[in-house]
């Protein structure tokens, strides 16, 4: 076991643990969206889990604890970046919580409360994608304007052959999740699995009603 100091709180963890994981396990909350335990390489795409180590601001999902270290999770520099990233995510998010199935369990709501950021970010125009619902899966609807592109669903989705059924498509700002090529043969896996639905931190993937045609 190795000891580290997070915000003056001493915690003990097995060496090799991801710093973000170490903090979360010890009830020190760090905002995060894209982190998935057990993945060999950090995705580091949501840019929320910043912490400060020796004056340097780094995403805590990219740091492995291999010895004593001093970590601060609540410095002005950390908070500034986190708030900025969250504001950017909210600026492309259709804030219509009352009509969203994720209302009150939504990671964005929780992080916004934690970082004290309003759901309607100031200074930034809201940029939404068209169309707002994509139905290329037999019974799952995708909402691009709710999606935060954390990619957890894509990294978990596997057919029986071990291949991903859902992928990112397009590039840059236009990136979306796509079920391109999903067909009936692979559907039985989807029926059982539903990992993507469980992994989504917001309400971007929704079981269509009625669930089966």
Partner 1 sequence: MSQTTPRISFNAIREQAEKRRKELDETGLPKVHIGMATCGIAAGALETKTAFEQALADQNIAARIHAVGCLGHCYAEPLVLVENPGWPPIFYYGVTPGNAGMIVRAFLRDGDPLLETLLGATEPNDLIPQVKDFPRFAFEKKVITQKSGFIDPEDVYDYIDHGGYETLSACLEKSPGDILQEVVHSGLRGRGGAGFPTGTKWRLAREAEIEHKVVICNADEGDPGAYMDRTILESNPHQVIEGMVLCAYAVGASKGIIYVRAEYPLAVRVITKALQQAEGLGLIGKNILGTDFSFDLSLFQGSGAFVCGEETAMIQSIEGYRGVAQHRPPYPVEKGLYGWPTVINNVKTFASIAPILERGAEWYRSMGTDKSPGTAVFSVVGNVVHPGLVEIPMGVDLRTLILEICGGIPNKKAFKAVQIGGPSGGCLPERFLDTPIDFDSLTEAGAMMGSGGIVVMDEDTCMVEVARYFLDFTQKESCGKCTFCRVGTKHLLGILERITKGEGRETDLKTLQELSQDIKLGSLCGLGKTAPNPVITSLRYFREEYEAHIKEKRCPAKMCRSLTAFYIDLDKCARGCDACVGSCPVEAIFTTKDRKKAVDQILCVKCGECMVACPVEYSAVKKISPAQLAPIIPRPEKKEDKKAE
Partner 2 sequence: MHEISAEEQQQIAVCIGAFAPKRGSLVPILQRIQDEFAYLSGEAMRKVAAHLGITPGEVYSVATFYNQFRFHPPGKHAIKVCLGTACHVRGGEVILENFQRKLGIREGQTTEDKEFSIDRVACVGCCALAPVALLGDKVYGHMAPSKVEGLILGIHLEKERQEREKAKHESNNS
Q: SS3 letters for 3-41?
A: EEEECCEEEEECCCEEHHHHHHHCCCCCCCCCCCCCCCC
Q: Which is nearer to partner 1, 171 or 184 (by Cβ)? A: 171
Angle at which helices 107-115 and 76-91 cross, to 10° = 140
Site for partner 1 in 51-90 (CB under 8 A): 57, 59, 62, 80-81, 84-85, 88-89
Task: Tell me the three state secondary structure of residue 132.
Answer: coil
Peptide bond into 131 cis (omega under 30): yes
42 is a site residue for partner 1 (CB under 8 A) = yes
Rounded CA gap, 78 and 69, in Å? 17
Rounded CA gap, 62 and 42, in Å? 6
Rounded CA gap, 144 and 164, in Å? 19
Q: Which does 116 bind (CB under 5 to 8 A by kind): partner 1, partner 2, none?
A: none
109 is a site residue for partner 1 (CB under 8 A) = no
Site for partner 2 in 146-165 (CB under 8 A): 159, 161, 163-165
Site for partner 1 in 154-183 (CB under 8 A): 168, 170-175
188 is a site residue for partner 2 (CB under 8 A) = no
User: Among the candidate windows 15-23, 70-78, 90-98, 175-183, which touches partner 2 by CB under 8 A?
Assistant: 175-183
Output the smallest distance, CB 61 to partner 1, in A. 9
Say if CB 15 and CB 67 are below 8 A apart. yes
Q: Which does 57 bind (CB under 5 to 8 A by kind): partner 2, partner 1, none?
A: partner 1
The binding site for partner 2 (CB under 8 A) comprises 159, 161, 163-171, 178-182, 186
């Amino acid at each position: 076991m190795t000891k580290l100091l997070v915000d003056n709180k001493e915690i003990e963890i097995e060496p090799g643990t991801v710093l973000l994981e170490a903090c979360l396990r010890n009830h020190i909350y760090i905002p995060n969206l894209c982190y998935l335990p057990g993945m060999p390489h950090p995705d580091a795409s949501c840019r929320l889990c910043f912490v400060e180590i020796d004056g340097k601001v780094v995403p805590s999902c990219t740091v492995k604890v291999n010895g004593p270290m001093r970590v601060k999770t609540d410095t002005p520099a950390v908070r500034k970046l986190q708030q900025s990233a969250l504001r950017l995510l909210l600026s492309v998010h259709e804030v219509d919580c009352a009509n969203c199935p994720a209302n009150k369990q939504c990671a964005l709501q929780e992080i916004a409360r934690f970082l004290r950021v309003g759901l309607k970010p100031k200074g930034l125009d809201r940029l939404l994608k068209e169309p707002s619902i994509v139905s290329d899966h037999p019974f799952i609807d995708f909402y691009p304007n709710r999606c935060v592109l954390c990619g957890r669903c894509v990294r978990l989705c596997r057919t029986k052959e071990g291949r991903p059924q859902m992928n990112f498509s397009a590039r840059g700002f236009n990136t979306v999740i796509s079920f391109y090529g999903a067909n009936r043969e692979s559907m039985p896996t989807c029926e059982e699995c539903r990992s993507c639905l469980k992994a989504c931190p917001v309400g971007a993937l929704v079981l269509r009603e009625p669930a089966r045609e």
